Amino acid sequence: MAKEFLSSKGYKFKEFDVTKDRAALDEMVKMSGARSVPVIAACGEVMVGFDRGRLEQMLSCIKQRSDI
């Protein structure tokens, strides 16, 4: 859901397959404290799982930063 949502809004993102990339898994756990996916990081915030409203707030922060 998160990938489709971001793509539909025209955002580019970097995807890591934590089932095949041990370093990516370790980094994900370090940043989120969780072993659940998706983990989305933006504007100094980390979100575990997909919460459309919260993700829209994070995207708004990104947009505001890029408008400056």
Query: Is residue 63 over pLDDT 90?
Result: no
Predicted pLDDT of residue 65: 79
The number of domains in the chain is 1
Bridge partners (DSSP) of residue 45 are 42
Q: Tell me: cis bond preceding 38? Omega within 30 of 0 counts.
A: yes
CATH number of the structural domain spanning residue 8: 3.40.30.10
What is the C-alpha R_g of the chain? 12
Query: Is residue 61 over pLDDT 80?
Result: yes
Q: Domain of residue 14: give its range.
A: 2-67
Predicted TM-score (pTM) of this structure: 0.82
Predicted pLDDT of residue 67: 62
Kindly report, residue by residue over 33-58, the tens digit of the pLDDT.
Answer: 999 999 999 989 999 999 999 999 99
